[in-house]
Amino acid sequence: MLPPLRLGIAGLGTVGVGVVKIIRQKANLLADRTGRPIVITAISARTRDKDRGVPLTDYAWEDDPVALAKRDDIDVFVELMGGSDGPAKAATEAALANGKDVVTANKALLALHGQALAEAAESADQVIRFEAAVAGGIPVVKALTEGLAGNDITRVMGVMNGTCNYILTRMQSAGLAYDEVFEEANQLGYLEADPNLDVGGIDAGHKLALLSAIAFGTKVDFKGVELEGIQRITIDDINQAADMGYRIKLLGVAQMTGRGLEQRMSPCLVPDSSPLGQLEGGTNMVVLEGDQVGQIVLRGAGAGEGPTASAVMSDIIDIARGIRVPTFGKPAKGLEQATSAKASASAPYYLRFQLLDKPGALAKIAASLGQAGISIDRMRQYSHEADAAPVLIVTHKTTRDALETALAAFAETNVLAAEPVAIRIEAV
Nearest to 159 by CA among 151, 150, 168: 168
Could you tell me if 122 and 332 are in contact, meaning their C-beta atoms sit under 8 angstroms apart?
A: yes
* Alpha-carbon gap, residue 131 to 31, rounded angstroms: 21
Q: If you write DSSP's letter for every residue of 293-326 in order, what string do you get? A: TEEEEEEEE-SSHHHHHHHHHHHHHHHHTT----
First to last CA, the chain: 48
Chain-centre distance of CA 367, in angstroms? 39
3-state SS, residue 340: strand
Given a contact cutoff of 8 angstroms between Cβ atoms, the answer to whether 145 and 329 are in contact is yes
Q: Annotate 322-347 with b (16+ C-beta within 10 A) or e (fewer).
A: eeebbbbbbebeebeebeebebebeb
Position 370, amino acid: G
227 and 343 Cβ atoms separated by less than 8 Å: no
In contact, 171 and 238? CB cutoff 8 Å: yes
Q: What is the DSSP letter of 123?
A: H
Instruction: Select which of 70, 100, 207, 219 is catalytic.
Output: 207
- Is 207 a known active-site residue? yes
Q: Cα separation of 104 and 97, whole Å?
A: 16
Helix spans in 335-399 (H): 361-371
Pairwise CA distance, residues 350 & 252, whole Å: 18
- Centroid of chain to Cα 127: 22
CB 270 within 8 A of CB 277: yes
Q: How far is the C-alpha of 209 from the C-alpha of 300, rounded, in Å?
A: 20
| Rounded-to-integer distance, Cα 211 and Cα 213, Å | 5
CA distance 350 to 373: 16
Do residues 102 and 315 touch, judged by C-beta distance below 8 A?
no
Count the neighbouring beta carbons within 10 Å of the beta carbon of residue 29. Answer: 10
Query: Where in the sequence numbering do the catalytic residues fall?
Result: 207
